Amino acid sequence: MSIGANFTPSTRSLGLPRLNLRRPPLYSSPLSTVAFRTTTNAAPTLSWRANHSHSRPVLAFSGGDGINGGNGSNSSGGGGGEGEGGDSGDKNKAEAILVLANIGRSLDSIPKDLAAAIESGKIPGSIVLRYFELEKSPLFRWLLQFGGFKERLLADDLFLAKVFIECGVGVFTKTAAEYERRRENFFKELEIVFADVVMAIVADFMLVWLPAPTVALRPPIGVNAGSIARFFYSCPDNAFQVALAGTSYSFLQRIGAIVRNGSKLFAVGTCSSLVGTVVTNALINAKKAVDKSSADEVENVPVLSTSVAYGVYMAVSSNLRYQLLAGVIEQRILEPLLHQHKLMLSAICFAVRTGNTFLGSLLWVDYARWIGLQKAPEVE
């Protein structure tokens, strides 16, 4: 194998810095940038380019037609030029490969989707490091076998804790909110309270799952897919999530994320409400059969109208609140400030999510009364 050296003329004399291959450059450095591009046909070449924006040179390896092709665009959505996407993709690949070399692992020893993302330059070295950190835990190692959990844990290593927070406080906060709104009528409307709590708990997991920021490891969509399917496939999972280096999302794609998650949450809310109201009506009918005096006091909960109303509520109110919570409050504000203090970050996330859950319960009761689905208590 021959190596050709091409030097671009510069007005200053340049010295070749020593490369430290033991320490992967996880973040871009003004000192030097190393980028690799693999090839199968052309012999690799070594080029030395002066970076006039800094006082240090930039070293780049290229090998003809690599995996990323000539343009090197790795962006899954609009924004960013081809050159910028190619530079970021090559930089991501170099970082990830150096991390693997430093840890002593190969591409064959990691999942195929993660290896493909490294080859295409979609993820930086910091994501690869996070994967190996998560792999040390038996629980996380098991969850990383599932694509959905893997994409979310790589984007947020506290994702599982947030799921437990959301589901754990769901019963308490929703019951407390129901009591706040109903007061002395709480036990008289216990069947309705039960329906609200059941359908809310069923939906809690999905409210954390769907708007959670992700690291996209999915393969490209099929060539036979329609334009609408292609558009929503390219949208992020959270409209406000931070895009990785080499990836950018247009404003339209971020709006598409809200629409797509809204449609999913509508289905989740409708189905969970359907289950809750059916169970509630069964309890009401059983109560009527045992206590004949309560036959006129307790009415069955309308199944279809309640289910559709709750689906609309989740598609609009819950969708927007949880998108803002996960993408803005947690990822853009709390995590940059407290990323080195995981315990404090978890505690603040617990408080914020508890307040958001309680607020959602209050809004649901007001919404249900506003559309006439539930009756407000009579004031004497």
Distance CA 107, CA 368 (A): 53
- Range with the poorest average pLDDT among 150-154, 167-171, 210-214, 298-302: 298-302
Say yes or no: 213 and 271 in one domain: yes
Say yes or no: 136 and 176 in one domain: no
Say yes or no: 177 and 222 in one domain: yes
Distance CA 17, CA 13 (A): 13
Integer angstrom CA distances of residue 35 from 56, 248, 262: 16, 20, 40
pLDDT of res. 350: 93
Structural domain count of the chain: 2
Token pair recorded at residue 59:
């070293």
Q: What mean pLDDT, rounded, does the chain reach?
A: 77
Higher-pLDDT residue of 356, 74: 356
270 alpha-carbon distance from chain centroid: 23
pLDDT of res. 158: 94
Q: Are 303 and 277 in contact (CB under 8 A)?
A: yes
Distance CA 216, CA 151 (A): 6
Instruction: Kindly state the average pLDDT of the residues 206-232.
Output: 90
Say yes or no: 210 and 353 in one domain: yes
Say yes or no: 180 and 290 in one domain: yes
pLDDT of res. 103: 92
Say yes or no: 138 and 169 in one domain: no
User: How many Cβ atoms from other residues are within 10 Å of residue 5's Cβ?
Assistant: 8
User: Within a domain: residue 376?
Assistant: no
Q: Which domain holds residue 338?
A: 158-370
Q: Are 116 and 287 in contact (CB under 8 A)?
A: no
SS (H, E, C) 181-249: HHHHHCCCCHHHHHHHHHHHHHHHHHHHHCCCCCCCCCCCCCCCCCHHHHHHHHCCCCCCCCCCCCCCC
pLDDT of res. 227: 93
Say yes or no: 116 and 163 in one domain: no
User: Within a domain: residue 153?
Assistant: no
Sheet containing 4-7: order of strands: 4-7, 45-49, 58-62
Residue 273 has pLDDT above 90, yes or no: no
Q: Which of 97, 114, 145 is the last residue of a domain?
A: 145
